[in-house]
Structures are given as structure tokens and as C-alpha cells.
């Protein structure tokens, strides 16, 4: 047996859903004493049927209007439905609501079963069949098989089993690395402890797996798994599974929570979605309406923000943002329902497009066009829109996979189709945005050189800040690296400039000779330089050239703890000191000032200000009487 189907048994109260399931499987789904005494299903009932092609899991959902919430929990994650209608009553209010719910949840296969055929004559049965045919016309069950049954005398049960056999074919299911399990029951069992049940979604769940209870994030471990009352080491997507949990408190787990792979789901209050309003709803849905939001087994109050319409007419579709009154945990692609606040009835539903969404302005074309692409389901178009909106901030690859609902293998051809730039193996940038940033960076440096012809250039931080919409740091770093490797720009002691740019190029021959003499004086004296005034004296020309050498970075005024200090050394001297320190005291080795004094063969008078400058520049870190190089 290789196939597996989960079917919800839906229909009006007292139309015989539980009796039919019991007759088919021999399993009593009314477990509670109150249910058995009243003959009324209150909570979900679970049973299964083995066929030659696989297993059919049957979820018997309550039909009474007071328990529609439990019905919705049961319909979450089902592959199809058995729509059950009593021959003696026909289509009733809960028949319609259950059917609407299944349709809104995207259920597109099933069987129509007519129950209690023993209570009507042939003419009444034919009339009921005709009314049901009219009811499902134009819907996903228009071509569904119709089986007439009676749990009382066994009529049609063999035909129903054969019909279920035909439905039980292996389904294509998502089987990624991450799983999530909306919990519809949580209880404790003597000898086992805490048990939670649900229909597994996404990836596989294994014994001893570490899990999170969302949205709270409480960690837990899977002690054991059961499927159809038998222990198993692994549960597959689509299967009904009971999970025995350990290392978690009972109060941290409740119906409506979601069991998920650690880090897979994040709590969210704001969701972007595509919403369908039922045509049977008697009034338009207005912006800022408050509704009951039902996702999986979770219920929350939510306020609706219509993004592309002023009001949503019955039977219409809109892009919306849902603002929840509390944190919930869900996933892009999940189906949801909305019910009116009062009176409580199902009025619509749809599909989640984005979780943890930013607040959007209404009628923002950039937002609505992206959401329409997402709703359309074309992953290439969706990714193209995401990258275009992100610009030079880029989009994390993990976020893209989550938005598109794709595994790494499924994402690869989508990315290949667009050929974006990959940054640090974890972020994608639209190639056009990356190329435009490259051009802007070069243009910004050229403009700076024109405005400041005697400055060396800009530090990386200053250049990034000067750009409009400062790019993400890792993207900026990759652009700089590419330009440097190509020889377009160069870095001079942390300052970026156009390759070949010389801040001293405009000097006359005499000025160049004098500036060279000043520079050589400070270069030759190393870390024991003369006072600047002894070099430039009262010569205004020399003073101007000295200042130019400071501005261009050839000379460096030391930053020390002594405010009045006026010690100037050549930049190459500082580079040589740093090089010697790194060779002698690699990180994280510590060293004393006296050791540096011996290494540089100098005195405290000169070594102290040099080390204080390196502290201020972030090259070294002072630790009491010792120092070490800053962590690479």
C-alpha cells in the first residue's frame, strides 16, 4: 500500500456522518460520553479505512452550528471531502456552510454520499438526488461520484468502499526539510504523558526530533509517534499523527498551537493575503472590518485592510492585509477562513501570500502588483518582483524559499531563470540594481575627487553613507571588492579612490620638491618625529604643503589622551608598526607597553602616543596594563 488520503466527512447535523463512518470502518468516532448520550458530535472524530491502494483517513466533523469551529479544524489539511446529505432532508444550512468552507480551503476532490436512503421512497430519493446535483453544479464536486447509502441496512456501503478505492491514489505532497503540524487535540495519557494530534504538513516528523511549540516557541522533543494506533518512527506529510512530547509543560501546549521544525515558523500579527468573499454574503465587506480569522486549528480576531479595493462586494476577490489581535504562527500558501464577528457565520476565505508583512498604504501599486504576482503562483515573477522591490538591500535566500514555499532544490531553477547576483552565499540582489550600484559608486568617487582634488578619497563608511538609499553592508562590500579586483578603484590605507588618482598631481615642480622633502623628514624619523614647527618654521608655503600632506593622509596627526598633543608621523610608519605587532603578537596574544618599546627600539615618550593612537583607531584594544590586537 503506497497511497494515503485524508478525507473530511462533512454535512448537516444529524445527517448520519458518524453512523456512516462507523459502518464503513467499525470505529466509533463519538468518544465522549456526552456525544454518545446526545447522539451529537461535539469534537472531531478520527478513523481510517485500509484499501488495496493505501489508507483513507476519515475525519468526522461536527455538523451542528455551535461546533462549526471544530469542523474547520477538521477540514484543515484534508485532501478531499465526503459530502453527506440525508435523503429525507436534502441540502440544509450546515450542508451549505460546510461545503463553502471546503471550497474556500481549496478542497477540489471528493464524493457525494446520500445517507438514510431507507427512510424515503424511490421518488423522494430521485428528487433529493436532483436537488443535490443542482447544489453542486459549477463547483469542484460537479463531476464527483454520487453514492446512495444506508448505515441502517448496509445499502451502498460496498459501492462506497469501491469508490474510495478509486480515490486512493498516491498524491504529490510537499516533502521539504521543515514540517509543521497544526494541533487539533492535546491531552495527557497515563504512562505516556503529553500527547498532541493533527494532520502533518510540509516535511517528515521523526521520533526524537526537536520541535518548537508555536507561536510561543517553547522547545520540546518527540518521545514517540503513533499513526492509526500503531507506533512508528516517522510520519509523512498528509498523515494523521499522534505525537508524544517530552521536556515541555502542559500549559505550553494547547489546541490551536502549531508544532514545527525549530526556526521554521515565526510569530506574526500581520499577514498579506488574497481574500474571496462568499457570494451568499448579504453585504459588502468594508475596510477595517473586524472578523474572526481561522487558520489551521488557530483562531484570532483580525482587522481587514483592503489594499486594492474600497469595498469588497459579495462574490469578489481582493488583496488584503490582516492585522491579528495576537501572535499566530502560520506559513505562506496556507488557506484560511473568515467568519463574521456577530452573528458568527463563515463569510469568506483565501490564501496567505506573505507573513510578517510590513504595514502597507492602500492602493500602493508596487505592493499590489507584487501580491498579484504571488497570488498568480508564478515563482519567477514573484522572485523578480521581490528583488526589484528590495533593490540594493537584496533578499535573504531563506526568506525567498519561505515566500515561495520552495525547497532549495525547487528554488534553484527559479533563481537561475533570473540570474541575480549572489552575495555571501545567502543573499540575492537583482543584477540591474547591483550594476547600477556599481556605476553610482564610481560616479560618487569621481564627483568627490572633482570637488576635493587634494583629498585622497573617501573611507568605505563615508562612501556608503553618501549613496542614496545606502545599500546593505555585505552588498556594498562585494561591489567594492569587484571594482578593486577590476582595477577601477583602489584602497589606500582604508581610503577608497579612483585608480591612479593623485591628490598632489596639481602641484608645481617646486611644490612637489618641497612636499617631498617634508614627507621624507617624517618618513626617516619613524616614530620619533620632530615637532612640526621645526620642519615648516614660519614658511607659509611649507605650512600649506604640510597641511596638504595631512589632508591627503600621507602624514597622520596622532590621536592621544593628551589633548594638546601635536605629534605627526608618516602613514607608512604607522603601517609598519601595525605590521610588526601582528607578526610578533598575533590575536589574541596580549602584550605590555614595555614589550612594544623593545620591539620598536624606542622610548615611552614616543611609544605611548603611538599605542594610544592605535587604540583610538581600533587597531589595538587596551586591557588594563596590557593590550592585544582587535579580533580580525
Cβ distance 30 to 41 under 8 Å? yes
Class of domain 378-503: mainly alpha
**What pLDDT does 323 receive?**
96
Distances (CA, A) of 310 to 232, 301, 313: 52, 21, 10
Residue among 409, 411, 432, 431 nearest 422 (CA): 431
Question: Which residues, including other chains, have CB under 8 Å from residue 590's CB and lie 6 or more apart?
Answer: 623, 626, 627, 628
Whole-angstrom Cα distance, residue 81 to residue 112? Answer: 8
Whole-angstrom Cα distance, residue 235 to residue 200? Answer: 8
Cβ distance 498 to 446 under 8 Å? yes
Distances (CA, A) of 286 to 268, 283, 295, 326: 23, 9, 21, 22
Task: Give the residue carrying C-alpha cell 511549540.
Answer: 213
Cβ distance 549 to 511 under 8 Å? no
Residue 377 grid coordinates: 503562483
Whole-angstrom Cα distance, residue 28 to residue 30? Answer: 6
How many other C-beta atoms can be found within 10 angstroms of the C-beta atom of residue 80? Answer: 21
**What pLDDT does 97 receive?**
85
Question: Which residues, including other chains, have CB under 8 Å from residue 509's CB and lie 6 or more apart?
Answer: none
Q: Which 3 state secondary structure label does DSSP give 433?
A: helix
**What pLDDT does 503 receive?**
79
Whole-angstrom Cα distance, residue 51 to residue 167? Answer: 10
Whole-angstrom Cα distance, residue 145 to residue 160? Answer: 9
> Is 268-367 CATH 1.10.1740.10?
no
CATH 3.40.50.300 positions along the chain are 3-167
Class of domain 179-260: mainly beta
3-state secondary structure 564-630: CCCCEEEHHHHHHHHHHHHHHCCCCCEEEHHHHHHHHCCCHHHHHHHHHHHHHCCCEEEECCEEEEC
Residue among 585, 591, 576 nearest 624 (CA): 591
Q: Which 3 state secondary structure label does DSSP give 443?
A: helix
CATH 1.10.10.10 positions along the chain are 378-503, 510-629
DSSP of 478-507: HHHHHHHHTTSEEEETTEEEETT--TTTT-
Cβ distance 41 to 9 under 8 Å? no
Extract long-range pairs of 127-132: CB within 8 Å, 24+ residues apart.
128/85, 128/87, 128/88, 128/90, 131/90, 131/91, 132/85, 132/90, 132/91
Is omega for the bond preceding 395 within 30 degrees of 0, making it cis? no
Segments in the chain below pLDDT 70: 1-3, 28-45, 62-77, 168-176, 405, 407
Is omega for the bond preceding 215 within 30 degrees of 0, making it cis? yes
Q: CATH number of 3-167: 2.70.50.60, 3.40.50.300, 3.30.70.100, 3.40.50.1390?
A: 3.40.50.300
Question: Which residues, including other chains, have CB under 8 Å from residue 564's CB and lie 6 or more apart?
Answer: none
Residue 480 grid coordinates: 567594492
How many other C-beta atoms can be found within 10 angstroms of the C-beta atom of residue 510? Answer: 9
Residue 34 grid coordinates: 456526552
CATH 2.40.30.10 positions along the chain are 179-260, 268-367
pLDDT digits (tens, 9 = 90+) for 466-500: 887 789 999 999 999 999 999 999 987 778 989 98
| Partner residues linked to 225 by β-bridges | 232, 243
Any idea what DSSP says for residue 282? S
**What pLDDT does 565 receive?**
79
CATH number of 510-629: 1.10.10.10
**What pLDDT does 412 receive?**
85
How many other C-beta atoms can be found within 10 angstroms of the C-beta atom of residue 506? Answer: 11
- CA 456-462-468 angle, 5° bins: 125
Cβ distance 268 to 356 under 8 Å? yes
**What pLDDT does 597 receive?**
95
Cα four-point dihedral sign 173, 177, 182, 184:
positive
**What pLDDT does 66 receive?**
42
Q: Which 3 state secondary structure label does DSSP give 413?
A: helix
Burial class (CB in 10 A: 0-12, 13-18, 19+), 316: middle
Whole-angstrom Cα distance, residue 194 to residue 183? Answer: 13
Whole-angstrom Cα distance, residue 256 to residue 568? Answer: 69
Residue among 242, 247, 221, 220 nearest 231 (CA): 242
Amino acid at each position: 500500500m503506497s497511497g494515503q488520503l485524508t478525507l473530511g466527512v462533512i454535512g448537516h447535523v444529524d445527517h448520519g456522518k458518524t453512523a456512516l463512518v462507523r459502518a464503513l470502518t467499525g470505529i466509533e468516532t463519538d468518544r465522549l460520553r456526552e456525544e454518545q448520550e446526545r447522539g451529537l458530535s461535539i469534537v472531531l472524530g478520527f478513523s481510517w479505512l485500509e484499501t488495496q491502494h493505501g489508507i483513507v483517513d476519515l475525519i468526522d466533523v461536527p455538523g451542528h452550528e455551535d461546533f462549526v469551529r471544530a469542523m474547520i479544524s477538521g477540514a484543515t489539511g484534508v485532501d478531499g471531502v465526503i459530502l453527506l446529505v440525508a435523503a429525507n432532508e436534502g441540502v440544509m444550512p450546515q450542508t451549505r456552510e460546510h461545503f463553502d468552507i471546503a471550497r474556500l480551503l481549496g478542497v477540489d476532490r471528493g464524493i457525494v454520499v446520500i445517507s438514510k436512503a431507507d427512510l424515503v421512497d424511490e421518488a423522494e430519493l430521485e428528487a433529493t438526488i436532483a436537488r443535490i446535483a443542482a447544489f453542486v453544479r459549477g463547483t469542484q464536486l460537479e463531476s464527483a461520484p454520487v453514492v446512495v447509502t444506508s448505515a441502517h441496512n448496509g445499502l451502498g456501503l460496498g459501492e462506497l468502499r469501491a469508490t474510495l478505492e478509486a480515490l486512493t491514489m498516491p498524491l504529490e505532497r510537499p516533502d521539504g526539510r521543515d514540517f509543521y503540524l497544526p494541533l487539533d487535540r492535546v491531552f495527557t495519557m497515563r504512562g505516556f504523558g503529553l500527547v498532541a494530534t493533527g494532520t502533518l504538513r510540509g516535511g517528515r516528523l521523526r521520533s526524537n526530533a526537536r520541535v518548537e511549540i508555536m507561536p510561543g516557541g517553547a522547545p520540546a522533543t518527540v518521545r514517540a509517534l503513533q499513526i492509526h494506533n500503531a507506533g512508528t518512527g516517522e510520519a509523512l506529510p498528509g498523515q494523521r499523527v499522534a505525537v508524544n512530547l517530552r521536556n515541555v509543560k502542559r500549559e505550553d501546549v494547547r489546541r490551536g498551537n502549531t508544532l514545527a521544525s525549530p526556526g521554521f515558523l515565526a510569530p506574526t500579527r500581520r499577514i498579506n493575503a488574497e481574500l474571496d468573499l462568499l457570494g451568499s454574503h448579504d453585504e459588502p465587506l468594508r475596510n477595517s472590518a473586524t472578523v474572526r480569522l481561522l487558520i489551521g486549528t488557530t483562531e484570532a480576531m483580525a482587522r481587514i485592510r483592503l489594499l486594492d479595493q474600497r469595498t469588497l462586494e459579495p462574490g469578489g476577490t481582493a488583496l488584503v492585509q490582516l492585522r491579528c489581535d495576537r501572535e499566530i504562527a502560520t506559513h505562506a500558501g496556507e488557506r484560511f477562513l473568515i467568519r463574521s464577528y456577530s452573528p458568527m457565520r463563515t463569510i469568506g476565505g483565501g490564501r496567505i501570500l506573505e507573513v510578517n508583512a510590513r504595514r502597507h498604504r492602500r492602493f500602493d501599486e508596487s505592493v499590489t502588483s507584487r501580491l498579484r504576482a504571488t497570488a498568480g503562483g508564478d515563482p519567477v515573477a514573484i522572485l523578480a518582483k521581490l528583488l526589484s522591490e528590495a533593490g540594493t538591500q537584496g533578499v535573504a535566500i531563506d526568506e525567498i524559499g519561505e515566500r515561495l514555499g520552495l525547497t532549495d532544490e525547487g528554488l534553484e531553477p527559479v533563481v537561475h531563470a533570473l540570474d541575480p547576483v549572489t552575495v555571501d552565499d545567502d543573499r540575492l540582489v537583482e543584477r540591474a540594481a547591483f550594476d547600477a550600484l556599481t556605476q553610482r559608486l564610481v560616479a560618487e568617487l569621481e564627483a568627490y575627487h572633482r570637488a576635493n582634488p587634494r583629498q585622497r578619497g573617501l573611507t568605505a563608511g563615508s562612501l556608503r553613507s553618501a549613496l542614496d538609499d545606502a545599500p546593505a553592508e555585505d552588498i556594498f562590500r562585494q561591489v567594492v571588492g569587484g571594482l578593486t579586483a577590476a582595477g577601477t578603484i583602489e584602497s589606500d590605507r582604508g581610503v577608497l579612490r579612483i585608480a591612479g588618482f593623485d591628490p598632489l598631481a596639481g602641484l608645481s615642480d617646486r611644490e612637489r620638491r618641497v612636499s617631498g622633502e617634508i614627507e621624507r623628514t617624517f618618513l626617516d624619523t619613524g616614530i620619533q618625529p620632530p615637532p612640526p614647527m621645526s620642519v615648516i618654521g614660519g614658511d607659509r608655503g611649507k605650512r600649506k604643503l604640510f597641511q596638504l600632506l595631512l589632508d591627503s593622509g600621507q602624514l597622520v596627526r596622532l590621536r592621544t589622551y593628551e589633548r594638546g598633543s601635536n605629534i605627526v608621523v608618516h602613514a607608512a610608519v604607522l603601517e609598519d608598526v601595525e605590521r610588526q605587532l601582528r607578526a610578533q603578537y598575533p590575536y589574541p596574544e596580549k602584550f605590555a607597553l614595555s614589550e612594544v618599546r623593545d620591539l620598536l627600539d624606542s622610548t615611552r615618550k614616543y611609544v605611548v602616543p603611538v599605542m594610544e593612537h592605535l587604540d583610538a583607531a581600533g587597531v589595538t584594544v587596551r586591557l588594563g596594563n596590557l593590550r592585544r590586537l582587535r579580533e580580525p
